Amino acid sequence: MSQQLRQKYLSHIPNVDRILAKPEMVQLENRVPKGIILEAVRRGLDHLRQRIITARNPRDLDESIFSFENLLPHFMEEIENQVNPKLKRVINATGVVIHTNLGRSLLHEGAIEHIAQVSRHYSNLEFDLNQGKRGSRYSHVEEILCRLTGAEAALVVNNNAAAVLLVLNTLADGKEVIVSRGQLVEIGGAFRIPDVMKRSGAILREVGTTNRTHLSDYENAIGEHTALILKVHTSNFRIVGFTADVELRELAELAHSQRLPVMEDLGSGCLIDLSKYGLDWEPTVQEAIKEGVDIVTFSGDKLMGGAQAGIILGRREYIQSIKVNPLNRALRIDKLTLAGLESTLLIYLDEAKAAREIPTLRMLTYSHDELRKRAQGLSRKIRANIPEGVRVGVRDDVSQVGGGAYPIQLLPTYVVTLKPDHGSVHQLEERLREGKPPIIARVSKEEVLLDVRTIGNEEGNLIVDGIEKSIKLGQ
Ligand SMILES: *Cc1c(COP(=O)(O)O)cnc(C)c1O
C-alpha cells in the first residue's frame, strides 16, 4: 500500500519544461543564464524524488510538495549557490583573533580603501614617476619597512612560506643549513621546516636535542659546507621543563666570527611590544634586527595585522641577491596585497594608533571591562528581540590569539551563552554556521558560545537575525 502511494507520488513529479514555462522562471532568464536555471530545476526535482523515495512513510507527505510555490525556493537556492560567490564573509564568534581558516587578519579601513583605489585605477606599481621609466614594485614598501624596523633592506613576497623558501634557495642551495632539533616545526597547512629545506635545495644539518641545544652544538656543526645558521620561532608550541636554547645574539656572534649569515624565521613577526598591552612578551622584529640577525622573515597577516605577505628584512647584500633570484618572480606579491600592506605599515608610524586601528591589534588589546560591556550589550539585544526559544546569558571565558602566535596565552574574555529550548546545542551551532551570513561559534557541553572579542560592533543585528532564524528552524 505505502509502496503504491510512493509510486503515485513519484509519477506526480512535475515535468522540467512545465516548470521552465512558469512566468517566474522565464523572468529569471533576464539575470541568470538558461543553463544554470535548467540545472537548478533538475536538481530541485531530484531532491524531491529523493525525498519521496527515502520517506519512511509516504503517508507523511502530501500533494503540497508538488506545488510550484513550495518548489520555487528550492530552485532559487540552487541558483543562488551557482551564481553567488562561494568565498563569503562570515561572523567570527570563536574569539580566535588570527583564525587561519577564517582569513587571519582583517584589514583596517584605510587599507581597504587603498586596495579599492589601486584596483579601480591604473597605478605606479612598476613605474618610477620621477624618472618616467620602469620602476620596482618592491620600492613602495622598502623604505617604510626599513624605517619601522631598522633593517638595511627589505623585500616582500607572497607569504612567509615563500619567504623562507626563497631565502634558503638563494643563500644555501646545495649547502648546509644548521637548525636546532627543537625548532623543526610544522605550521598548519603542511609547512614543515625539513620539507621546505629540501625543496629549496638546502641540506638540513640538525643539531642539539628536542629540548636542549647549546652554542657548542652549532659551533661543532660548522664546516666547509655550511651556508647559514637558521633559527625558527616555535610559533605554535612551547617546550617547557628542562630546556636550553641559544639566544639570537650569541648565534649571530658565532655566525659572524665564521663569516656566515644567520637567519630567523620569526613566524608572526610583531612590530610592537605587546607586553605593554597586557600580552606576554614576544621578541619583536626590531629586536631581531638589533641582535644582529642578517635575514629575518615573517608573515604580513598574523600579528602584524595586514594582508597575506612574506616580509624579508636584512642586510643589503643578501636582500639584493634574493631579489635577483629567478624564483622571486614566481613568488612575487600582487598589487592588491601590496596596497593593503603599505597602508598597514604606514599606520605603524604611530604605535598607539596602530594598536587602536589595526583590527588584529585592537581585538587583542580590548580591556576586560570593554569586553564585558560588549557581551552585556549583545545579550540585551538578543533578549529584546527574541523573547522565547533560547536562554541567553553572559559569562567569562578565554579567547585565543591564533595564527600560531602565543600558543599558550589565554586571553580573558566574555561570551554570550545560548541554550536552545528545543534541539541540541550542536544543532544550533550548525544552523548558525549555515546562516546568511554564517555565524561561526564555539560550543561547550551545554551552550553555544559567542565570544565578543572577534565580533564587530556593527554585527549585532546580523547575529540577532541569525539566532532568530536558527531557533525558528528548530521549533
Ligand atoms: C606561520 C609561519 C610560517 C608560514 O607563514 P605563512 O605566511 O602562513 O606562509 C612559517 N614559519 C613560521 C615560524 C610561522 O609561524
The set of residues, in sequence order, having a beta carbon less than 8 Å from that of 351 and lying 6+ positions away, is: 272
Residues with C-beta less than 6 Å from any ligand 1 atom: 159-161, 164, 185, 187, 191, 232-233, 235, 265, 267-268, 299, 310, 404
Cα 213 to middle of ligand 1, angstroms: 22
User: Which atom of ligand 1 is the closest one to the Cα of 299?
Assistant: 7
- Looking from the CA of residue 163, the nearest atom of ligand 1 is 9
Backbone CA torsion sign across 390, 392, 395, 399: positive
**Cα–Cα distance, 116 to 431 (Å, whole number):** 33
Distances from the Cα of 374 to the Cαs of 84, 91, 93, 205, in angstroms?
A: 33, 16, 13, 51
Q: What cell numbers appear for 197 in the block?
A: 629545506
Residue 400's identity, in one-letter code, is Q
CA geometry: angle at 51 spanning 49 and 52, to 5°?
65
Which residue has its alpha carbon closest to ligand 1 atom 12? 267
Distance in angstroms (rounded) separating the CA atoms of residues 244 and 152: 31
> Which CATH code for domain 109-357?
3.40.640.10
Residue 270 β-bridge partners:
284
- Tell which residue, 293, 290, 299, 278, has the closest CA to residue 344: 299
Q: What are residue 308's phi and psi, to 5 degrees? A: -60, 120
To 5 degrees, how large is the angle CA 171–CA 174–CA 178?
65
Would you say 302 and 105 are in contact if contact means Cβ atoms under 8 Å apart? yes
- 122 C-beta neighbours (distance < 10 Å), count: 7
Ligand 1: centre distance to CA 457 (Å): 30
Measure 163 CA to ligand 1 centroid, in angstroms: 9
Cα of 54 vs its chain's centroid, Å: 40
Give pLDDT tens digits along the chain (475 positions): 678 889 999 999 999 999 999 999 999 999 999 999 999 999 999 999 999 999 888 888 888 888 999 999 999 999 999 999 999 999 999 999 999 999 999 999 999 999 999 999 999 999 999 999 999 999 999 999 999 999 999 999 999 999 999 999 999 999 999 999 999 999 877 899 999 999 999 999 999 999 999 999 999 999 999 999 999 999 888 888 999 999 999 999 999 999 999 999 999 999 999 999 989 998 999 999 999 999 999 999 999 999 999 999 999 999 999 999 999 999 999 999 999 999 999 999 999 999 999 999 999 999 999 999 999 999 999 999 999 999 999 999 999 999 888 888 899 999 999 999 999 999 999 999 999 999 999 999 899 999 999 999 999 999 999 999 999 988 7
**Which residues share a beta bridge with 91?**
439
Ligand 1 centroid–CA 187 distance in Å is: 6
- Written as one letter, the residue type at 341 is L
Structural domain boundaries in the chain: 2-83, 91-100+364-474, 109-357
Q: Which of 164, 167, 180, 187 is the best mutation target for the ligand 1 pocket, counting ligand atoms within 8 Å of the beta carbon and taking the most?
A: 187
Domain 91-100+364-474, what fold?
Answer: Aspartate Aminotransferase, domain 1 (3.90.1150)
